[in-house]
Structure 1
Amino acid sequence: MNPLASLTDAVPTPFWLDDPQRPESHPALVGGTRCDLLVVGGGYTGLWTALVAKERDPGADVVLIEADRVGGAASGRNGGFCEASLTHGLGNGLERWPDEIGRLERLGRENLQAIEDTVARHGIDCSWERTGSLDVATEPYQLDDLAEVAEASARYGGEPLLLDAEAVRAEIDSPTFLGGVWNKDVAMVNPARLAWGLKRACLDLGVRVYEHTPATKLDEHGAVIAVRTPYGRVTTSRVALATNAYQSPLRRHRPYTVPVYDYALMTEPLTDEQLASLGWRHRQGFADCANKFHYVRLSADNRILWGGYDAVYHYRGRVRAEHDQRPETFATLARHFFTTFPQLEGVRFTHTWGGAIDTSTRFCVFFDTSHHGKVAYAAGFTGLGVGASRFGAETMLDLLAGDHTERTELELVRRKPLPFPPEPVRAIGIGVTQWSMARADRNQGRRNTWLKALDRFGLGFDS
């Protein structure tokens, strides 16, 4: 079977959002209003900020505004890997914050548990599964790196399981797998239903939610901040910006992230026989160890989500709906799928989609405040925001309150990454980096002079 034939009937829409249980959107804000805290953005970061703010102070008047629909962007179309890591993996954290990595790993595990507790407490129906995730080697040179990752994880409180080729194929059977590490501090989740469940929890606690309400301008007037929207103005004493891949109303915020498009396919539900041919009894997610990597997991109804590989930047960082579909990437992903799982020949894909990721030069979240401490923002999660967004919310609220906490003392919080350069240097640099990363994958992982220079200055590009 030609792998491309598997795409014949796929609909161009995110699988998670193509759900009959998708809630109706709330009306836009019309007219002015006042509140104690305004949250700008209705993805995970904004939803967690509003929810935690109400849990901390039930009497606070909290308003959340969203330009489109809650959960309609990255939060409703990602792979659904809810990871404990706050640093885009232990390796990145060790390289950048070696003196506080133990604390960051502990805070990440506590954050993951707090998410699980919230899901249970509010009865959020999001197919939460604490299965963990596998990092798999598909080239021999990657095996030593996996062993180092496992050793480091155990040193900082993790409980990794290092698997040889036979053991990893006993978990998920692919002829391409040569070894793996099973990280237990990961949950699989239906990402859209998590966002919708957080929205409902916010409403239950009294948060006022307005969808189809973009923030167009932010002004300071003495002790208050005025945020303009198309049909009115919100006056508040504190603002949490959670716009992530989308353009922030705060100009100084914008150079620190670029939107990178990531793409995914979803198969039809597997039959019992097809699933048995893979093993996969423990339902872990997995990702391979290449620079241009794939991320893969099972849905609640035993479909396979197959995503990643290409990370596409559009000149000047344009975020547009037409970028959500990229047939050449879908064709590449389909070919790779059947190389990894030849026993699934004949399986068809039902959905194709993409979306923008907020990428920073250090691959993980950063923070800052402005307007004399009345405005805070968190952004740059670089594809690992499902879990880390809650940590980002707690940290923003600490910063807005002026509290000195374990979170605000972290170097990760106190220092921002280097910004991306302006165009056209930005696009040229990203293009050279992508070419170099693909070349390293073809060359036993060897990094060329360009990548080594980026490493030296703590710069990077990822999704």
Structure 2
Amino acid sequence: MAAGAMNRWTASLADARPVSFWLDDPGRPPVLPALTGTEQCDLLVIGGGYSGLWTALLAKEREPDRDVVLIEGREVGWAASGRNGGFCAASLTHGLDNGLSRWPHEIGTLEKLGARNLDEIEAAVARYGIDCEFERTGEIDVATEPYQAEELRTWHQDVRRQGLGDGIEFLDEEAVRAQVDSPLLRAGVWDRDGVAMLHPAKLVWGLKAACLSLGVRIHERTPALSLVRRGAGMGVRTPYGRILARQVALGTNVFPSLVKRVRPYVVPVYDYALMTEPLTPEQRASIGWQGRQGLGDTANQFHYFRLTADDRILWGGYDAIYPYGGRVRAEYDERPETYARLARHFFGYFPQLEGVRFSHAWGGAIDTCSRFSAFFGTAHEGRVAYAAGYTGLGVGATRFGADVMLDLLAGERTERTELEMVRKKPLPFPPEPFAWTGIALTKWSLAHADRNEGHRNLWLRTLDRLGLGFDS
């Protein structure tokens, strides 16, 4: 690697602000006061990301007279909900492949429920006037190697034979480069209707406003310190007060659950992203991309990328960093070596954008479980419900998870609660040092597979047989 080339790539990062582009917005709403004293409510929602906000909103839509309080340890949307790529997918199962491998007998229902959930998100955005730059452009999974192109073609044929994948179109090299002009692209599959692009922080802030409009009481800078039984309900202690609630919904995801038995099921994996400065009209024309779809490549160590409303490119993924012990710490939010690697890969994809600079570089923790899609449950004799483990695909699926939590708290048997996906848990992660060793070996094996035309070694094949399915 030439030193001059490396200097060009790193020079593109010289002015990058180490904060999420989405959250770096002068229009962000003011922080609401912390809880002080004692409050009572019918439903307490803990966590002010998508999971918690959807739960509070749907609870009020179901029962307008229900007294709902939401508390957030810092600011609404400051964690994963304000740092992700803004891909809002219909899939509830982290993609069709993962769903087919785990729940083949109910995949049709899961796909139907996922499509309905995305439609309902779009309807809520319109109903509450949420200006979150929602664009239902779809997503193209792209191949950058000949073997990946053949795998995509075969996969597309297989799912169509099974009567799945409506609205998914195979694109050969000419067709995919007609959509996005990168010299690396060999093929793609375009899910035309199953993914929307949006501004993640503006969705959070819009949901916050919608909750307030329906009478939800929101307290920011109010971490929940403990969760205990109090008579017929639950008691939650906070730094300056306490809350007595008939029921509690936990939307804390990557952070240690207040239900301790849930903790072994979730580990944090740190993901990183760059945002370019706005492209000039000439730069924009050089890459095509008139359809404004989201894109993701099909390698095990993959990139995801998309356009913003003002024609920047978000470029993220590839490195997935698990910190020993599974700790969530602010110092992990920055990783200059990953930013340099991402910049180098970006200009490999888009050499015609030589000279473009990055305005923002940031990272954050994803709540990952061993089956890559959310799991659900209750505690304290049904007074507490939880959902976690979205593994990076929570922008859309958290709304479905909110409905599941409310169904569980109501004790209702619904189409959602009857799903095997909802009734059963993933395998927990082992304690340290076994978790770190296993994850490190898996990452090495996935990188090795990418270098060897996708061939999975004995370790990955063993995980496949155990149903762990580390394929993304």
Question: Letter of the aligned partner of 2:184 in structure 1?
Answer: T
Root mean square deviation of aligned Cα:
1.0
- Does the CA-based 8 Å contact 1:362-1:460 persist in structure 2? yes
TM-score w.r.t. the length of structure 2 is 0.97
Q: Partners of 2:131 and 2:116 in 1: how far apart?
A: 21
Equivalent of 1:400 in 409, 432, 452: 409
Alignment of 1:205-244 (within 5 A): 205-244=214-253
How far is the alpha carbon of 1:462 from its aligned partner? 7.3
Task: Give the gaps of 5 or more residues in structure 1.
Answer: none
How far is the alpha carbon of 1:436 from its aligned partner? 0.6
Q: Report how many aligned residue pairs link the two structures.
A: 463
Q: Partners of 1:462 and 1:123 in 2: how far apart?
A: 38
How far is the alpha carbon of 1:249 from its aligned partner? 1.3
Partner of 2:398: 389
Deviation per residue, 1:396-422 (Å, 9 max, x gap): 000000000000000000000000001
Question: Letter of the aligned partner of 1:386 in structure 2?
Answer: V
Partner of 1:439: 448
Task: Give the gaps of 5 or more residues in structure 2.
Answer: none
Q: Secondary structure of the residue that 2:296 maps to in structure 1?
A: strand
How far is the alpha carbon of 1:460 from its aligned partner? 4.7
Deviation per residue, 1:266-307 (Å, 9 max, x gap): 000001110100110010010000000000000000000000
Which deviates the most, 114-123 or 149-158? 149-158
Q: Is residue 251 of structure 2 the alignment partner of residue 246 of structure 1?
A: no
Q: Is residue 69 of structure 2 the alignment partner of residue 63 of structure 1?
A: yes
Q: Secondary structure of the residue that 1:7 maps to in structure 2?
A: coil
Question: Letter of the aligned partner of 2:98 in structure 1?
Answer: N
Partner of 1:12: 18
Deviation per residue, 1:223-269 (Å, 9 max, x gap): 11111111111111111001011111110111110010000000000
Q: Partners of 1:102 and 1:289 in 2: how far apart?
A: 23
- What is the aligned-residue identity percentage? 66
Q: Secondary structure of the residue that 1:245 maps to in structure 2?
A: coil
How far is the alpha carbon of 1:148 from its aligned partner? 3.7
Q: Is residue 198 of structure 2 the alignment partner of residue 174 of structure 1?
A: no
Q: 1:148 to 1:36 in 2, by over 3 A?
A: farther
Question: Letter of the aligned partner of 2:22 in structure 1?
Answer: W
Alignment of 1:13-412 (within 5 A): 13-154=19-160, 155-156=163-164, 158-184=166-192, 185-412=194-421
Q: Secondary structure of the residue that 2:377 maps to in structure 1?
A: strand
Q: Partners of 1:210 and 1:149 in 2: how far apart?
A: 47
Q: Partners of 1:317 and 1:460 in 2: how far apart?
A: 20
Q: Secondary structure of the residue that 1:100 maps to in structure 2?
A: helix
4+ runs of 1 displaced by more than 3 Å?
A: 151-154, 460-463
Q: Partners of 1:158 and 1:239 in 2: how far apart?
A: 38
Which deviates the most, 246-255 or 304-313? 246-255
Q: Partners of 1:236 and 1:260 in 2: how far apart?
A: 32
Q: Secondary structure of the residue that 2:279 maps to in structure 1?
A: coil
Deviation per residue, 1:57-91 (Å, 9 max, x gap): 00000000001100000000100000000000000
Q: Partners of 1:157 and 1:54 in 2: how far apart?
A: 34
Q: Secondary structure of the residue that 1:26 maps to in structure 2?
A: coil
Q: Secondary structure of the residue that 1:353 maps to in structure 2?
A: strand
- Does the CA-based 8 Å contact 1:37-1:236 persist in structure 2? yes
Q: Secondary structure of the residue that 1:52 maps to in structure 2?
A: helix
TM-score w.r.t. the length of structure 1 is 0.99
Partner of 1:454: 463
- Does the CA-based 8 Å contact 2:39-2:244 persist in structure 1? yes
